Structures are given as structure tokens and as C-alpha cells.
Structure 1
């Protein structure tokens, strides 16, 4: 115990010294970096403009509390009563039996849930607020509500109270050490560990599919994977992943690797592995990612295999880039991509979901000011944004586990990947946020001009397979579906069960979730109309995609071995670019 206190004191002193030095170098940071103060002041003024409605809302809350007091008193006298309010399905914060069995903790839980639901309802009922401000206020109100849950505090969480008594406080001591470790990892910024970061190694037990790097430039490495069949389709497959995260979400382990599965179906698989940019690459722009990404990959694939045409996959923001690239190629008469698949990718950002709350002038200016200091956005900043969309699962559950319970996080490859974020060059990231999310120019014919070429998505006439996730909170299915009304060629839309990751990475062997298909000749205008005529199928959608693509991939040819074609091998997969980490 004495050694633990000594360790805490020494590490705390070092962190304070580092903070003081950073404060001198960077100067004081803004108290409101997201510039929310004015938003909430304007919103409060609207709310106070109708005092009668506010008084009525307060009375409703008081009546709910009186009902809760009455039910609690009846229970304390031994009567059997029904709860006034219960957690929503899937809310894991109150799973411990004590939240229901112990009267005090049950009261705390119900009191919190009543207040939380009252506050969110009251916020949504305020009149005279524009839709964008209303969504922003609702989102950040929910962040506050989630933070104030009694499960997040030592004295009001029965699991923590029990652990503290049983261990005589060692859980809190270990939790403090975990907190210091995470502050050290983040160099003064709290970098919450979601998994045991030492349990995984890229190229060791994740990203293990065999292959070679056959081409590289300053923006990406191109990986060609070793075939697992004697013959392969004539047309190679190029995968363009998002550059916000690493590509190996498609190759976490052999059992759920989309890359491995695709080679087993007879595809020659190439994957772009994006660079993790540093101070030397701050000048990169969106056009660079197109020219040095998929367009450079097409040239390299032809050298490596001799194939004149390829099929492609664009995942998330990689899909937005692929749509831009296809429109650029169509305008130039370049037909090297014969078919394209989009994994949960948006091109029309009219309804971008909750990420849209971060896209207004004040917050964009704040992000740009942040990026101007180093020339790039730290990967941890983007990771925090995505984690806020599911704060209870991806933030507060780990605060409780790591800092209050004093436990180490469980090894989980998906969360290891989730923490392996990449930086974004300032100019490129600002271009993407402003032109796609804020101004929605990609969907407007000629709204964007890249390399003197007006971009018009309607000129994309090749066959497209469009995948969306039913519960996707990053690229909502309703938003993804809009592309069916934009692309000029035939579009096969498929709605997968689950969300942004599990909706994509769902191998057939798992027999999980489901997917929906609508075999009508033409996609109707809205997703709701499409779903009305769709049929549900159990399990993975991968076989449907394979059936669609294999028919377009040409005859079988002898398998191509990486490095033995027109491009020599540079190094083994997964390559060196993917191993550059921002936080260990």
C-alpha cells in the first residue's frame, strides 16, 4: 500500500510538471472549445419565453417524484409494488441485481431515470428553435445526462461500494493508478483504455492474412493478399477503407476476416493501407487522397496483374472518396472500375445522423483552430467524437470499470482497433467536413471541382452494390439509401442487421443478425418504401454480395502470387504504414 501511494505521488508530480510546461508553451486553452455556451444561452432564452409551459413541466416532474416517493415508501413497508420507471432495453448500467433488490439504490436509479427522461422531453418541447440547434442541444444534453448517472459515482454505485468494502479501498487505489496510466498515455489528455492494449499486435494476432506490399507512395501502401484458391477471377478486387481508422477492421482475425473470406471465394484482393500522417504531410488535400489513393492503386494493379479492369469496395469515408473518384473517372472516360460496392458510405449528407451536430460554423472553426497548431487533427480527437455517440458503452462503462472498480479492461480486438485511430491532415479534413457535411456539395452536379473536373455522381453508370446497417449511428441507413436515387447505373441495395461495424463484418459462419433485400426492378424514393417491399433473410449478406460480384468478375485464371507479377514485393503484409500508432 505504501509503495502504491509513493508511485501515485511521483507520477502525479510528473504529470503536473508536464502540464505546467505544456501550459507555458501552448498558452491557456479556451474554456468552451466547442463553443456551446451561446447555443445553450439562446436555447434557454427560448425556453423561458413561455413560463407557463416551463411551470407545467416542473409540476409534472414534481408529480412523478411524489409518485416515486409513495411507491418507495410502500416498498419499505414490505408491500410489493411495480417500478415507476425502468431502464430501456439494452441499458447495461443497471444490470447489477442491487439496483433492483436494494431499496436505496432502486430509488437512486428510478430518480435518475425520471429526471433524465423529463429533461430530454422538456428540451424537445421548446418551441421556436431551429432543427439544427434543437438536435445539437438534445445531443449535448444527453451527454450531460449520461455523465450524471449514479452508476458513474463511487458512493452511488452498489458494485463499487461492495468492491470498496471487500478490498478495503484497494479498488479505488488501483483505479487511481489506472487513471494516471491513461493520463500518461495521452500525454496529459485522458486516453481511456477500452481494452488491454498489450494483448494485441498488428501483424501478430490481428491483421494476419498473408500477403505483400507491392506498391507505396507518401499517402498509402497497396497490399496484395496471397490467394487461397488455385484459380481466381480475372478481375481483381480493390478495397478502399476509411483513413480515419486502420484497414484491418476487415482482417481482425481469421474467423471474421472479410479479406481472408474474399480470397477464399476466388478474388485477387488488393487493399489500400493509408498513411498515418505527421508534420511532414500536413499539406495533403482531398485531391491527393484520390490521386495517390485509388487512382494510383489502379495503375499499380494493372502492373501487378495485367488486368485492365477491377472491381472496388469503398468503406465509410473511403466510400465517399470512391464515389468522388468514380464521378471523376466517368467525366474523363476512364472505365477501369467495372463494378463498385459501398460499405455504409454516404454521398448525400442531408441527413447525416448525430455526427451532424458537430458540423456548424462555430464547431468547425474550433476544429480548424485546433488543427492549425500542428497541421493535422489528432486521431484521439476523432475517436472521442465517435465514442460520444455511444457514451455509456464506450466512455462511462470504462470509467466505472477502470477507475472505480480498479479493474483492467478485457482484451477485445475490436476495441483495440477502435483505439488505433489515425491523424487527419488539416486541409484535407477541413475540405471534407465543409464541402461534404456542411455544404453537401458532393451530391450537387458540378458542386465540387477536382483537378479541373466537375464532379457529377449521376454520371456513375457502372453496377453498384450498396450496403447499409440498420442500426448504424455513424452513416444512418436512411442517409446511405439516398445514393440509390443518385447513381446513374443499376444499384442493388441491401440492408444489414446491426451497425457500422458488425453490419459489415458479419461472416456467414457466425450465423448472426439478418439482412433485407428488395428484388423490385427499381429502388423506390425512400428507405421506408423500400423496406415495405423487402424480404428478410437470416444471417450474413456476404454470399449475396459474392453472387452479385462473381457474375461481373470475368472467367477464372491461374492464381496470382503477390510479388511474382509485374510488381516486386516491398515487404510482408500488413506493411509498415499500418503499424504507426498515435497512442500506445
Structure 2
């Protein structure tokens, strides 16, 4: 910093002061960081063509337009976490997972969660399961009749998908062809750096705050995640922006990260107490319709993705699916990157790598460190490997379905309205 100040004659400190004032004003006015305004949902991010084909109080369901003359019969339903807006999986066209899947001949549906307000304080985890996953499966089944569904869950969306799949298995519901979980935990005993901030006393305080507000607001959410990566998101940013006078250029992923959401009081409390602190799902004590569900009831193939530098869902935690699942086939993939950047891995990118193995019900367990040591590294994006796995678990191609139907007529163009809620 001293060398920079000497070489620039102190202009770095003047520029840093301007950055500090600008950031302070934006923070006080509730505005997004500098440069985020260059990324507009429906303008240059979240632009893959499609239609909203269903809406309830909690979700809009988007069906994307086909780009191939033939599609794989089994549609893909993506369940993002409601701690994020869905378009992380549909960023700019060059790094959109949705566009990649559509271009590979998949029919893709996406859940777009409503941004809750204080009036939604009593929405719980089961509301998200019913109004999110189960309602979506009903619509997808009507629009792609006689085809099972490849369900994909990201982060908390993956945890909820595992819960829903376990409950479906108990009920004899066979609508799923497979489930894929991106950076999603089912065992929370090693749940990452968030464990430093959440215990019974801290949770009681947080519940008091959420009770008064009805939600955990966007600033509180952002602050918690910044603390998890304080070196990257707080201190290095302060040094670069305010002392060196150098702003990191905004990109689509950073702009998405600033587009925060809120958490309903009841849902967030249930998640933190039942799943995070009490580990009820992994230990067979999580109830759906007053019955305990267990991951071992799931029989469909599972594809689980972990990321090497994940601060939210450490890969050794996601790897624990091996101890819980009893399906005949479990693929586990570990990719370079972190919780978000590791998942967004377009094939055109460089410097990516991943490891992948598939185990079957007769295979013996391998602990994560031994697995890491002996699993070869593949260079490149992991998306093609997963897409090939989807193809292997799909039937013959067919003509693409119509966008919507008489029963579920299109309600508007993608990206819909819920994703635009502040």
C-alpha cells in the first residue's frame, strides 16, 4: 500500500475515499454495489427463453423453450435454494446451466421462489416442500405425461429435494427418475463455518430477531455470509477498494450475489433447529406428515456434487450421502471452486477440474480422504460428465412438449415476476 501511495502521489487514497463514500451512500439507501446495475434480470442475465406455466403463493414454475428438434423424454426439474435467486443457474448465456441443458436436448423446468415478506412469517419447511417441489412435480407430470423426472436441487434446495424424495419413496410415489444434489447437505454434523455462529443461545437470539421482523432480512443474510468469508469478502475488499483505490470489476455472479432474498421466520427456525443443530434428517427424526423420513428409503439413482472450497456445505459433509443412501447407484463428483463458482462451470471455461466415481449397493465404503487420494483428476468442466449421466438414465428422444397446456396456460415470459421482487 505504501508503494502504491508513493507511486501514485496519493491518488489511490483519494480514489479510495470516493469508493468509501459511494459504498456508504449505497448502503444507507439500500442500493446494490457499484456496477451491479449493469446486470439486469431478463435483460442480460436470466435470459434463456421460456414461459411461466404455473404460479402459487410461493413459486413460479418456468418451462424453457427447446432449442433442439428432439429432446430426452425425461424432463429436468431444478429446485434452487430460496436463500438465493434462481438465475445463478441462468446467468449470462455463456455460463448458463439452463441454456447448456436445453442446448443438449433436455426439457428444463425451474422453480423461481417468491421473496417472502413479514406476512409470510409462518411459512415452514413443509410449505416449501408442498408448494415448491410437490406442486411443481404435478405440473411437470401434466406437461410431460408418462415420463419420470430428473430432479435437481441446489444447496438448501437439494436438502429439501432429498426430504421430498424420501417421503415420496415411503408413499410409493415413483415419479422421479433420479435426483441430483449440487452442494447440498443431508448430514449437518460437519456443516461448515456457519457452525461458528450458530448454537442454541445464538439461535434463540436470532429467533427473537426474526420473530420481531417476521423474516431474516437481506442485510442480515448478506452479513452472515460475508463473515464466513471475511478475508475475501470484507478485509481484502476494504484494502483494495479503500486503500489501494482499486475496485474489483463487477461480473454477473457478483451482481447475482448482491441480489439478496429474505427468509421466513418459521422456515428458517425449523431449518436451523431441526436440520442444522439437531441433525434430524440424518438421524431419522425429521417428520413429514407426522412420519419420520430417511435418506435410505430413496431408491432412484443419486448424483451428488461437492466443491473443493465450499464454506457453506463442505465437500466432506456432502460426501456423507454415502453413509445415508441405500440406492443401487450413487455418483459423487468433486469439482474445483467454491459453493457458487464451483457449480457455475461452463465447458468453455479454463482451469477447471473434477473427480468422479460411481458406487453401487454392493461396494464397500471409502472414507473421503482416501477417496480424494486415489480418485483421478479430470481436467475441464464437470457439466458434460453430469449431462452424460443424465442421458444414461434417460430413455429415447421424442418431440419436445408444448410450452404450457390448456390446463396450465403460459402466464408470461421467463424470467417471470417473483425473481424481480426486491
Q: Fold match, TM over 0.5?
A: yes
Where in structure 2 are the equivalents of 1:101-180 lying within 5 Å? 157-158=1-2, 161-162=5-6, 165-167=9-11, 170-171=14-15, 173-180=17-24
Give secondary structure in 1 for the equivalent of 2:112: strand
Contact 2:353 2:382 in 1 (8 A): yes
Quote the Cα distance in structure 2 between the aligned partners of 1:168 and 1:286.
49
Give secondary structure in 2 for the equivalent of 1:535: coil
Contact 1:353 1:476 in 2 (8 A): yes
1:481 aligns with 2:322: no
Residue deviations 1:483-533, cap 9 Å, x none? Answer: 012112021111112221222111122143211123565262421122233
Where in structure 2 are the equivalents of 1:25-104 lying within 5 Å? none
* Structure 1 residues 468 and 361: alpha-carbon distance in aligned structure 2, compared to 1, 3 A threshold: same
Higher relative contact order (CA 8 A, sep 6+): 2
Instruction: Select which of 366, 376, 379 maps to 2:215.
Output: 376
Give secondary structure in 2 for the equivalent of 1:508: coil
Which residue number in structure 2 is paired with residue 5 of structure 1? none
Which residue number in structure 1 is paired with residue 300 of structure 2? 462
Where in structure 2 are the equivalents of 1:430-469 lying within 5 Å? 430-445=269-284, 447-469=285-307
* Structure 1 residues 390 and 472: alpha-carbon distance in aligned structure 2, compared to 1, 3 A threshold: same
Quote the Cα distance in structure 2 between the aligned partners of 1:258 and 1:411.
20
Which residue number in structure 1 is paired with residue 384 of structure 2? 543
* Structure 1 residues 173 and 470: alpha-carbon distance in aligned structure 2, compared to 1, 3 A threshold: closer
* Structure 1 residues 225 and 172: alpha-carbon distance in aligned structure 2, compared to 1, 3 A threshold: closer
User: 1:303 Cα shift?
Assistant: 2.1
Which residue number in structure 2 is paired with residue 290 of structure 1? 129
Contact 2:13 2:244 in 1 (8 A): no
Contact 2:332 2:358 in 1 (8 A): no
Quote the Cα distance in structure 1 between the aligned partners of 2:367 and 2:223.
32
1:325 aligns with 2:160: no
Quote the Cα distance in structure 2 between the aligned partners of 1:169 and 1:477.
40
Q: Which runs of 5+ in 2 are unaligned?
A: none
Quote the Cα distance in structure 1 between the aligned partners of 2:359 and 2:177.
23
User: 1:248 Cα shift?
Assistant: 0.8
Contact 1:196 1:409 in 2 (8 A): no
1:493 aligns with 2:323: no
Q: Which is worse superposed, 407-416 or 349-358?
A: 407-416
Which residue number in structure 2 is paired with residue 557 of structure 1? 398
Q: Which runs of 5+ in 1 are unaligned?
A: 1-156
* Structure 1 residues 453 and 414: alpha-carbon distance in aligned structure 2, compared to 1, 3 A threshold: same
Give secondary structure in 2 for the equivalent of 1:383: helix
Contact 1:175 1:405 in 2 (8 A): no
Contact 2:13 2:243 in 1 (8 A): no
Quote the Cα distance in structure 2 between the aligned partners of 1:173 and 1:528.
47
Q: How many residues align?
A: 419
Where in structure 2 are the equivalents of 1:181-200 lying within 5 Å? 181-186=25-30, 193=33, 195-200=34-39
User: 1:386 Cα shift?
Assistant: 1.4
1:527 aligns with 2:349: no
Quote the Cα distance in structure 2 between the aligned partners of 1:380 and 1:362.
21
Instruction: Select which of 77, 92, 99 maps to 1:253.
Output: 92
Contact 1:312 1:340 in 2 (8 A): yes
* Structure 1 residues 566 and 512: alpha-carbon distance in aligned structure 2, compared to 1, 3 A threshold: farther
Which residue number in structure 2 is paired with residue 212 of structure 1? 51
Contact 1:284 1:428 in 2 (8 A): yes
Quote the Cα distance in structure 2 between the aligned partners of 1:228 and 1:168.
49
User: 1:264 Cα shift?
Assistant: 1.1
Residue deviations 1:534-554, cap 9 Å, x none? Answer: 121111122221221112222
Which residue number in structure 2 is paired with residue 575 of structure 1? 416
User: 1:318 Cα shift?
Assistant: 0.5
Return the TM-score normalized by structure 2: 0.94
Q: Greater CA radius of gyration, 1 or 2?
A: 1
1:410 aligns with 2:249: yes
Q: Calculate the aligned-residue CA RMSD, in Å.
A: 2.1
Quote the Cα distance in structure 2 between the aligned partners of 1:444 and 1:434.
14
Quote the Cα distance in structure 1 between the aligned partners of 2:173 and 2:392.
22
Give secondary structure in 2 for the equivalent of 1:505: coil
Quote the Cα distance in structure 2 between the aligned partners of 1:474 and 1:549.
26
Q: Which is worse superposed, 226-235 or 494-503?
A: 494-503
* Structure 1 residues 393 and 168: alpha-carbon distance in aligned structure 2, compared to 1, 3 A threshold: closer
Structure with the largest fraction of helix: 1
* Structure 1 residues 163 and 269: alpha-carbon distance in aligned structure 2, compared to 1, 3 A threshold: farther
Give secondary structure in 1 for the equivalent of 2:134: helix
Contact 1:496 1:516 in 2 (8 A): yes
Quote the Cα distance in structure 1 between the aligned partners of 2:20 and 2:310.
35
1:471 aligns with 2:324: no
Quote the Cα distance in structure 2 between the aligned partners of 1:526 and 1:219.
39
Contact 1:160 1:404 in 2 (8 A): no
